[in-house]
Each structure stands twice: as structure tokens, then as C-alpha cells.
Amino acid sequence: MNAIAQPGVGLTVRGLRKSFGDREVLHGLDFEVRAGERFVIMGPSGSGKTVLLKHLIGLEKPDAGEILIGDEPVGASGVMDRYRMAMVFQSGALLNSLTVGENVGLYLTEHRLKPAREIEQIVADKLALVGLEGLQDKMPGELSGGMRKRAAVARALVIEPQLIFYDEPTSELDPLIAVTIGEEILRLNQRTRVTSVVVTHDRQLGFGIAHRMALIFDGEIVALGTPDDIQASDHPEVRRFLSANFHFDKEKVSP
């Protein structure tokens, strides 16, 4: 199986603010994602995670502040071409009319970036990397929810990304299946040099995979650091978020 050749790239957010009408939803966010790390952005529903993610991937423009990929602003000309970035959507977003292999290789096929035989080998390698070896000819409807998410990860890996964004990767999954997604994120980061940014409300996932994490509430980062740092925080919103029948078990998410 081929490893991802591109080194991971860092991400910096400085003074990020965003309002919709009279309501400010992001209040001057500051944080840094280091190259090659697993960084988790976590918080309850309505905390601003989705709006933040849209800014990180360039779908929204901030009212103030900046986002840097490497040393370049996200909106700079050509930055998306110079750095390889991929997105794993919450739903998986596989096309039901295509086979799993066709879904995974779609970007390469549509842009005619490789010969057909080479695309087939790349697809096989990436599917094997996420534990779906030999499932190229299956249809998405034949896969479980967890397998669809892993196929979406394989599709992201086809472009050999330096930075992967995951949007709620365990949503709508059985807790046991959700653990396997966390394990895949861990393994991919350990086998490759890709930087992973995971946006989630899933506390078991977040604490299980993060090198570092940011907790966001009402558009503000209220805690930033390692999982141990977060659990030691005495901020009232952090304590409230963690206290709701939450017990982190490292044995449930392991490489």
C-alpha cells in the first residue's frame, strides 16, 4: 500500500470574526494546527463549529481576521492548487449510481489525471488503506454506514492530501461502528504525514484521537490544548459539556 507522499501542512487562524445580520457567531478565534497533527474542534450543536469549518475550507469569508494554509491566506490566488486539501463530508456523499471504486477514483477520472489502469491501482491501494480491500465493484447501497464513511476517506486520500477535514465523521453511526472510524483516523495519521482537522460533537472520538483540541461554545474557544489539558479545565462550559454522563476510555479508541 502506498503512503501519502505529500508532507502535512499547518493551519493558522487569527482573530476570526463572522456575523450574520446583527448576530456575531464567531468571536475573534485564534488557534494553530501543526503540520502532521490530529486537531479536534469540538463543541455542542449550535456552538459555531460548522460556520468555522466553512471558513477553514474557503466557503465563507470572515468579517475580520485571517486563515493561513502554510504561510498563505486561504483566499490567495492559487493557494488551493499549491496545497492539497480534502474533505470527508458528514454524509459520506458517495454517488449511488457509481460503484465504490468509481466513487473513489472519480476526481482522477473526471480530470483525466492518470491512465485508467493506474487509477484502478490507486483506488485499490486507498481502499486497502482504510480496510475495504477488494470492494471496488460493490455499490454504495451494499455498504454499511461505517463502510461508506471509510470509502469517503479513501476518496479523499486519492489526491494525496496534505490536509484532511472531517465533518462529524461518526454522526448517525452505531457507537461500536463509530469507534472504527476513530481507529481509521488514527491509523491514517500514523501511516502517513497528513494533517487531520476533525470537527465533531462526539466526545469519545475527540478525546480518543486528538493530539490537541479546541472546545468552542457560542462562537468562542473556551479551552485549547491536549485532551488532558481540556479535562483539567475549570471553565464552567467545559465542565458542563464533559459532565453529561461522559467517561473517556482510552481502550475504546486505540491505534
CB neighbour list of residue 254: distance below 8 Å, 6 or more residues apart:
183, 186, 208
Strands 64-69 and 72-73: antiparallel
Q: Is pLDDT at 133 greater than 60 in this prediction?
A: yes
11 burial via Cβ count (<10 Å: 0-12, 13-18, 19+): buried
Confidence of residue 16 (pLDDT cuts 50, 70, 90): very high
Q: Residue 84 is placed in which grid cell?
A: 492539497
State residue 154's pLDDT score.
Answer: 86
Q: Where are the alpha helices (DSSP H) in 130-217?
A: 145-157, 175-191, 203-209
Confidence of residue 254 (pLDDT cuts 50, 70, 90): very low
CA distance 173 to 145: 7
Quote the strand ranges of 52-97, DSSP E. Answer: 64-69, 72-73, 85-88
Q: Is pLDDT at 153 greater than 80 in this prediction?
A: yes
**Chain mean position to CA 158:** 15
What are the tens digits of pLDDT across the range 155-200?
888 888 889 999 988 887 777 777 878 887 888 787 778 899 999 9
Q: How far is CA 13 from CA 19, 31, 64, 131, 223, in A?
A: 17, 5, 11, 34, 15
Q: Which amino acid is at 198?
A: V
State residue 1's pLDDT score.
Answer: 37
State residue 4's pLDDT score.
Answer: 43
CA distance 49 to 70: 22
**Chain mean position to CA 112:** 26
What are the tens digits of pLDDT across the range 44-96?
888 999 999 999 988 899 999 999 998 888 877 777 778 888 888 776 678 88
Q: Is pLDDT at 248 greater than 70 in this prediction?
A: no
Q: What percent of the chain stands above pLDDT 70?
A: 91
CA distance 186 to 118: 27
CA distance 248 to 245: 10
Confidence of residue 244 (pLDDT cuts 50, 70, 90): low
Residues 28-56 have a mean pLDDT of 93
For residues 104 and 128, the answer to whether their CB atoms sit within 8 Å is: no
**Chain mean position to CA 176:** 20
Q: Residue 169 is placed in which grid cell?
A: 465523521
Domains and CATH numbers, the chain: 6-18+25-84+162-255 (3.40.50.300), 93-159 (no CATH)
Strands 64-69 and 163-167: unpaired
Please report the DSSP string for 98-117 in residue order: S-HHHHHTHHHHHTT-S-HH
